[in-house]
Structure 1
């Protein structure tokens, strides 16, 4: 199996990068939708229903598949011989940031359900602040993978 993973490494890495890009796009955009949904939309209105459709489709049709494929191709890279040396510090820090990114995805999913149920209690400011988290995780991940400082 490891020989197979080594043979398809360029394809696995390519699919992983594409998946990450799609996932990150959603992680950046969904909180922005929540900001506008919170600040500009009356609960129960036609616009509320429209925002809920956009948020649901972004989450279910783009973000969830992208997160799953990111994890699948990422794990395939981890199991490819010679790619990750777990005796170094960088893969552990990157793994922590990926878990943080996954937690943020789950947090957004819970907020989506609150909007769906008309139960959102968070302000636009909260969503603006939380929107910075994926950027922080992305910076950590990219530095760990490219520069490998530790």
Structure 2
């Protein structure tokens, strides 16, 4: 099980690296001046590739997490409220990932109306989600 845990941590860290950087590309896309077609296309290409790679990393991260959950039998019995909270955080991360995909589709269709400032704030969400998940797993506050 230690191998599963190790690979889970690696895939989660890699998945989050993508979630940290993809919205940063969105910040740059939101700041592209009208008529800068080459810059826009370069950023869209980067965002598409990063989203695809990040999505591929999310699958083993979630799968290995499920393996750990089922293998350890965590969550059954008293004192495991932290796990239920962590699973809620995981659902929020998956939702954030899907929101990134939706925003990228809007950029591709040239229908995204959000400002670079909005994307700067949006970019902070995965940091908070990762912090919350780590605290729940390590501290197990309830």
Q: TM-score, normalised by structure 2?
A: 0.93
Unaligned runs of 5+ in 1: 1-8
Cα distance between partner residues in 2 of 1:56 and 1:67: 15
2:72 aligned to which of 81, 94, 98: 81
- The CA deviation at 1:43 is 6.0
- Aligned pair partner of 2:108 in 99, 105, 116: 116
CA displacement at 1:42 relative to structure 2:
3.1
| Secondary structure at the counterpart of residue 40 of structure 1 | coil
1:14-65 residue CA offsets vs partner (Å, 9 max, x unmatched): 11111111110011101111001111343670111101100000001x2101
Indicate yes or no: 2:36 matched with 1:52. no
User: Structure 1 segments of 4 or more deviating over 6 A?
Assistant: none
Cα 1:113–1:44, aligned 2, differ >3 Å: closer, same or farther? Answer: farther
**Unaligned stretches of 5+ in structure 2?**
none
Distance 1:56 1:43 in 2: 21
TM-score, length basis structure 1: 0.88
- Which residue does 1:149 correspond to in 2? 141
